[in-house]
Each structure stands twice: as C-alpha cells, then as structure tokens.
Chain A
C-alpha cells in the first residue's frame, strides 16, 4: 500500500514549549488512523501541520504526494478538515452553510458531493440532514451540527479527511452513527481518515492508532498489537468479582499488592494469569469469601495507553 501521508521528524515549538516533538508517522491510503491522547498531547497541532494550517519548526510533511509547506494549495484541494469546533456559520441555514463551503472550495454548485452523486442534495440524505435544509446551524442539536460540518468538509470529495475530536461531547448514539459514516467513507470510497480523540472506546474503532503523550508519538500500531505488547511488558489482567469486594480487596492486597479496585471488581496485572487465578481463588476461599469469580480480561485501551506512557516516561526520565 502507498503512504498517502508521510511525516518525517516533525517538531513544532511555541516559544520554549514543544507542542509536537520529533514525530515520524506514515498513513496508508484508505486507512482510518486514530490519534489518541489527552488534551495538550499535541494532537491538534500535528493535525493542523498535516493540513498546512501551521508550519512545522522542523521536519517535513507530505500529503497525497505534495509538500505541505511548498505546495500548500495542492494539499488543500486534496484534504477535508473538520475542526474541533465544527467551524460553521451559526446564523446561516444548513443549505446556506453547504453553499458557502462549496464556494470556498471552488466546487461548482450543484455538483459533486459527499457520499455519492447528485449535488449538495446527495450529501444531505446519506448524512441524515434531509428536512433540515432551512434550519439555522445554531438551532441544530450537537450531533446534527457535527454531520453538517462533516458534509461541508466533504463537498469537494477530498481523498484525505482530517477530523479533530469530531465527537467531543456528542452523545453515544450520534457518535455511533458518525462512525458508521466514517467507515463507509473509508471502506467504500477509499477515503483516508485521520481522526483525533480522547475517548478510549472510540480509539478501538480505528484501523491503526497513534498514541500521543507530551508532544511525542509514543506508539503507532493496530489496537490489538498495542494491547499484546502491553501484556508482554506488564502482564495480563485478571478480574475478581464478589459480593464482598470491599473485604476481598483489603485481604487480597496482601499477596497481590498491585491489586486495584475497579468499581465493584478487583483488577490484578500478572505474568502468571492461570496460576494466580487459582492462588487468588484459594486465598479468598480460605478467608471465607466463597462467591468469588475470577476471569482473564482483555486489556482496555486506557490500561494499554497508561502502560505505554509509563514506559515512555521511564525512557525520557
């Protein structure tokens, strides 16, 4: 597969602050690539540089074969960008926003459209905006505003789409259907999608994931590999479920000091999951806790990420 995005040793400084620190990254055509990290990790800065909206202090970036510094205009015709704040005109209607963006992108109206042919209309229906053409953007629910912003970013049918925290604050239902659209774009239209998020659950939907921490890209791989690497480094996760979890926790921290309460469950990271399951079960039974159930749990993305951060901090300490 060809790399449609190539970042080579990209750094961005704001005075003394290093927002993005020596990031090298390549994204294949048609991939859904997620950038995961907390606020301030450098996700937005990196995305803005890939879009040619911000110049790198060091390094270079190529998008769809064009250099974002020297061939910015070419880059712009190949990308769609949806910012965190869904840059819509709140006092324009849905249709007026679409027409405005068509004009800005130089798309003849009516002409090409997101998700199929048929002019701007064709973009409205698959995105669930039918019947809302005359409503003001500010009156739309957040989920709908998000779809309108997506429709605007797709008007010129860009092969690469950048989404900066597109689902922040959106409810799970709207978030779910938003991801359906993203998959359709990627799988059926071959659009490459770079999406940033701080929702760990959402990160699992991506084909590949870049973990960002303090401006650095500390890992980039498919979610499954990230998890198995973390298991190799810090052990598997076993979870204990019992009605008497408070007492069980007080007791189990004796033989398993690394045990953590997770709601009403007890989590233990271990390199010997099978033998430790038995050990914990016997230990609790001897203490009079007979209803304990112990199971091996898949590692959550959050647990995985934390493990990568710890490992990275050790290297950089």
Chain B
C-alpha cells in the first residue's frame, strides 16, 4: 500500500543522461554491499554483501529458492523496506537515504497474485484507479491501456470483478496496473509464481516487447530456474547471498552445465 504515497509525483522524472554507446553506460540500478537484518539486536540476516548493476534496457533476474532473500532486495529498491547497510541507487536516487523519492519513478509489483488490485473493482475500474493514482495524461493512458489490454488478452473481461479472475488473469491485470504509467524501471517480485503456462508466456512476451520498444529496465525475481534463460543477466541467490552472476550463456559456458546444475554445484561447493 506504500506505493500510494506516489500520488502527485511527476509522471516520468528525468533519468540520468546516458553516455553514448553501451560501454561505460550509467547503470540504472546500482547495488553495492547491500545488507538487511531483521529482528532485535540485528539477529536474522536476510541478505548480505549484495552487489550488482542493471543497465538500461536490461532484464535482470534474481534467481533462487524461497527464503534466499530476493524479495528483501526488491523491496529495498522499491523504497518499501529500509536497508541495514550498503548502497543502492535507482536512476541516481539513493534509496537507502531517500526511499520515498523512488516510489514515483518505478513500477513495482509486489509478490502474490494481484496484491495491488482491488477485488471488488472490475478490470476496467482497477486500471482507471491506477490512472488516477499516477495522474496519467489521457492520451498516454488511452493508448497504453489499449495496447496492454490487447497484449494480455484481457479485453473481453473488462467488466469482470478482479476477485472472479483466474490467477493468471489477475497477475496480468496487476502487470497492466504496474505498466499503465509507462515507468522506465520495473521491479517485479515473483511475477510468474503460480501462474499458468500460457499467462506466463504472455507475461514474458509483454516484458520483452516493452524492453525492445522503450528500453525499459527490468529487475525481477523468480524461483523457477528455467526462467533464468529468459533474462539477459542473472544473479543466483542462496541463503541471502549472490553465489554467482552473469549472462545465462556465460554461466552455462563457464560451468559447462545447465543453470540448475550450476546452482546445485555452487551450493555443494559452498557448504
């Protein structure tokens, strides 16, 4: 619910300028030595020593099982969870020092099927609610809404209450609501968990489409190892740490194995 503080923020505040060419490009998301502890006396370590960069137009996947710490990282970057230490910037904004500032510029989809939706509102009403929340100009809204409804194939269900949608449809509506203000940065927490295979394929099609069209930057989490290959860059997470990162191809070549085997091997070696 924290995202609602975003009301009144500018639609698309400027992103730091890019230098020419891909090399030396300013990373859109920069994380350095990030830590999060829970509990009194800082007993439980959720994540520790996390460092990675996400460049513009990149799909970056945090891959790991439940409890690996993926959600903590996404929540810190979305400005809904405070960090215990380290550095994290999103589009140049220091989210450790100023978590409120980031909420207006990112599209954040929390974990759980359609948690950002209102069950008693229809599909159309939910989308309109996010238009008002994000104060989207009519022309941008209409065009974007049409395109997203088409890609998600939710047009026939505009009048249906969110509570009567299937899991996959809910998640697609949640994605529409996250994308409706054309954010340049997307933070998606387990967007495909528990979703049927066709909805999952629709989801990836939409993500690749907006990345291809508008060079959107995407950070997402998943516990499905086979989804790693659908990202441009991955970080494998285990027990609060990143145990390896790189492009799926580079990791497969380095270890001469599939990504699940890479994970299993690294965990065995580590412990």
A142 to B65, CA, bound (A): 11
Report A-chain residues with C-beta under 8 Å of the C-beta of B230: 262-263
Tell whether, in the assembled complex, residue A40 and residue B247 are in contact, meaning their CB atoms are under 8 Å apart. Answer: no
Q: B198 at the A/B interface (Cβ < 8 Å)?
A: yes
Report A-chain residues with C-beta under 8 Å of the C-beta of B223: 169
In the complex where A199-B224, A264-B232 touch, is A302 in contact with B264 (Cβ < 8 A)? no
Report B-chain residues with C-beta under 8 Å of the C-beta of A39: 167, 194, 196
Q: B4 at the A/B interface (Cβ < 8 Å)?
A: no
CB distance from A16 to the nearest CB of B (A): 13
A262 to B196, CA, bound (A): 18
Report A-chain residues with C-beta under 8 Å of the C-beta of B196: 37-41, 213, 309
Number of A residues with CB within 8 Å of any CB on chain B: 33
Give the contacting residue for B263; candidates A38, A172, A305; CB below 8 A: A172
Classify the interface of chain A: helix, strand, loop or mixed: mixed
Tell whether, in the assembled complex, residue B166 and residue A40 are in contact, meaning their CB atoms are under 8 Å apart. Answer: yes
* B207-256 CB contacts (< 8 Å) to partner A: 208, 212, 223-226, 229-232, 238, 247-249
Tell whether, in the assembled complex, residue A172 and residue B197 are in contact, meaning their CB atoms are under 8 Å apart. Answer: no
Give the contacting residue for B195; candidates A38, A170, A213, A249; CB below 8 A: A38
A17 to B230, CA, bound (A): 35
A172 to B201, CA, bound (A): 23
CB distance from B79 to the nearest CB of A (A): 26
CB distance from B82 to the nearest CB of A (A): 26
Classify the interface of chain B: helix, strand, loop or mixed: helix
A200 to B57, CA, bound (A): 28
Tell whether, in the assembled complex, residue B205 and residue A260 are in contact, meaning their CB atoms are under 8 Å apart. Answer: yes
Give the contacting residue for A306; candidates B166, B168, B201, B225; CB below 8 A: B201
Number of B residues with CB within 8 Å of any CB on chain A: 39
Seen from chain A, the residues whose Cβ lies within 8 Å of a Cβ on chain B are: 37-41, 142, 169-173, 176, 198-201, 213, 241, 246, 249-250, 260-265, 300, 302, 305-306, 309-310
CB distance from A236 to the nearest CB of B (A): 18
Tell whether, in the assembled complex, residue A173 and residue B212 are in contact, meaning their CB atoms are under 8 Å apart. Answer: no
Tell whether, in the assembled complex, residue A173 and residue B194 are in contact, meaning their CB atoms are under 8 Å apart. Answer: no
In the complex where A40-B166, A302-B226, A309-B197 touch, is A263 in contact with B66 (Cβ < 8 A)? no
In the complex where A261-B208, A309-B197 touch, is A172 in contact with B226 (Cβ < 8 A)? no
A260 to B226, CA, bound (A): 16
Tell whether, in the assembled complex, residue B67 and residue A142 are in contact, meaning their CB atoms are under 8 Å apart. Answer: yes
* Beyond A37-B196, A199-B224, 19 additional pairs, beta carbon < 8 A: A38-B167, A38-B199, A39-B194, A40-B196, A142-B66, A172-B65, A172-B260, A172-B263, A172-B267, A173-B268, A201-B225, A250-B212, A260-B205, A263-B229, A263-B232, A264-B249, A265-B229, A302-B226, A309-B197
CB distance from B270 to the nearest CB of A (A): 10
Q: B3 at the A/B interface (Cβ < 8 Å)?
A: no
Q: B114 at the A/B interface (Cβ < 8 Å)?
A: no
CB distance from A217 to the nearest CB of B (A): 15
A150 to B97, CA, bound (A): 47
Tell whether, in the assembled complex, residue A309 and residue B226 are in contact, meaning their CB atoms are under 8 Å apart. Answer: no
Total contacts A to B, CB within 8 angstroms? 86
Q: B123 at the A/B interface (Cβ < 8 Å)?
A: no
CB distance from B255 to the nearest CB of A (A): 14
CB distance from A196 to the nearest CB of B (A): 13
Report A-chain residues with C-beta under 8 Å of the C-beta of B264: 172-173, 176
Interface string of B149-176 (1 = CB under 8 A from A): 0000000000000000011100000000
Report A-chain residues with C-beta under 8 Å of the C-beta of B224: 199-201
Tell whether, in the assembled complex, residue A38 and residue B194 are in contact, meaning their CB atoms are under 8 Å apart. Answer: yes
Q: B68 at the A/B interface (Cβ < 8 Å)?
A: yes
Report A-chain residues with C-beta under 8 Å of the C-beta of B64: 171
Q: B59 at the A/B interface (Cβ < 8 Å)?
A: yes
Please give me the residue from chain A that is nearest to B271 by CB atom: A173
Tell whether, in the assembled complex, residue A38 and residue B197 are in contact, meaning their CB atoms are under 8 Å apart. Answer: yes
| Selected A-B contacts with CB under 8 Å, 17 pairs | A38-B194, A38-B197, A169-B67, A169-B223, A170-B66, A171-B65, A171-B68, A171-B238, A172-B264, A173-B263, A173-B264, A200-B226, A201-B225, A250-B212, A260-B208, A261-B208, A264-B248
Name the 4 nearest CB pairs between A and B, nearest first: A171-B65, A38-B196, A169-B66, A261-B208
Tell whether, in the assembled complex, residue B194 and residue A198 are in contact, meaning their CB atoms are under 8 Å apart. Answer: yes
A302 to B202, CA, bound (A): 13
Most chain A CB atoms below 10 A, which of B166, B196, B267: B196
Please give me the residue from chain A that is nearest to B201 by CB atom: A306
A40 to B170, CA, bound (A): 13
A264 to B200, CA, bound (A): 18
Please give me the residue from chain B that is nearest to A176 by CB atom: B264
Report B-chain residues with C-beta under 8 Å of the C-beta of A260: 205, 208
A250 to B224, CA, bound (A): 28
Give the contacting residue for A38; candidates B67, B168, B208, B232; CB below 8 A: B168
CB distance from B69 to the nearest CB of A (A): 12
A176 to B258, CA, bound (A): 14
Give the contacting residue for A249; candidates B66, B167, B194, B212; CB below 8 A: B212
Report B-chain residues with C-beta under 8 Å of the C-beta of A241: 249
Report B-chain residues with C-beta under 8 Å of the C-beta of A41: 196
Tell whether, in the assembled complex, residue A261 and residue B249 are in contact, meaning their CB atoms are under 8 Å apart. Answer: no
Most chain A CB atoms below 10 A, which of B65, B225, B268: B65
CB distance from B218 to the nearest CB of A (A): 12
Tell whether, in the assembled complex, residue A302 and residue B197 are in contact, meaning their CB atoms are under 8 Å apart. Answer: yes
A309 to B166, CA, bound (A): 16
Tell whether, in the assembled complex, residue A171 and residue B208 are in contact, meaning their CB atoms are under 8 Å apart. Answer: no
